[in-house]
Chains A and B, each alone.
Chain A
Amino acid sequence: AQSVTQPDIHITVSEGASLELRCNYSYGATPYLFWYVQSPGQGLQLLLKYFSGDTLVQGIKGFEAEFKRSQSSFNLRKPSVHWSDAAEYFCAGANRGGGNKLTFGTGTQLKVEL
């Protein structure tokens, strides 16, 4: 069955420190992969997406993610975290082609210490 796994439920980093959030996927073929952010009381915002080509993708708010087929991973990174980055981060995947559902990981709650 298709699945997306986020091993870290909670992560705390200091403001200005680097960040890496882990995501692993299990699909029959390489899926479309996404990272979303959900701030308290807010909706879901797409940070970045991968569907093919360059394995390092750039997103909004200074985030990037690297697709590694050999590790079935799509980890999210940011070189310097800001206090406003505190939020819930979701990795998600979908089979290629249209009309396919999006499957979410369990989410990682990011806390930023000032």
Chain B
Amino acid sequence: SAVISQKPSRDICQRGTSLTIQCQVDSQVTMMFWYRQQPGQSLTLIATANQGSEATYESGFVIDKFPISRPNLTFSTLTVSNMSPEDSSIYLCSVEDGQGRNGYTFGSGTRLTVV
């Protein structure tokens, strides 16, 4: 299965600033998924990132707040913009293995605290 390197693993940021999270995959993948896990909650999909096209955002998430780049088939970034304490969460990237049949692999996550 794919191996994902995600960084940073954690960060503490001032409100009003932005943080860019990177995910590097060891193989080429068509789609990458970005999730948010708020404290004590489940995972919620933010957006799906395809190489060569704009990301597709889920309801409640907008590009201005969570811009995503997907410059090639092994890399993607998620930016959390103009942060507020409500953005304090774990952010995870994910890819599917074997067109989903083998499961979905997740990065180790970025634990973000906004103060």
Residues of A within 8 A of B (CB): 32, 34, 43-44, 46, 49, 51, 90, 92, 94, 96-107
| Complex Cα–Cα for A39 and B43 (A) | 14
List residues of B (12-52) whose CB comes within 8 Å of A's CBs: 30-31, 33, 41-45, 48
Select from chain B the residue with minimum beta-carbon distance to A97. Answer: B99
Say whether A103 contacts B45, CB under 8 Å.
yes
Total interface residues in chain B, CB < 8 Å: 23
> C-beta contact mask, B82-115 vs A, less than 8 Å → 1, else 0?
0000000000101010011111111111000000
Say whether B45 contacts A101, CB under 8 Å.
yes
Which residues of B have CB within 8 Å of A105? 42
- 26 inter-chain pairs at a CB distance below 8 angstroms, sorted by A residue, are A32-B101, A34-B103, A34-B104, A43-B92, A44-B92, A44-B106, A49-B102, A51-B100, A51-B101, A90-B43, A96-B100, A98-B99, A98-B100, A99-B31, A99-B96, A99-B100, A100-B96, A101-B33, A101-B45, A102-B33, A102-B45, A102-B94, A102-B104, A106-B41, A106-B42, A107-B42
Number of A-B residue pairs with CB-CB distance less than 8 Å in the complex they form: 57
Select from chain B the residue with minimum beta-carbon distance to A96. Answer: B100
Which residues of A have CB within 8 Å of B42? 90, 104-107
Most chain A beta-carbon contacts within 10 A, residue among B104, B105, B108: B104
List residues of B (68-94) whose CB comes within 8 Å of A's CBs: 92, 94
Known: A99-B99, A102-B33. A94 touches B104 (CB 8 A): yes
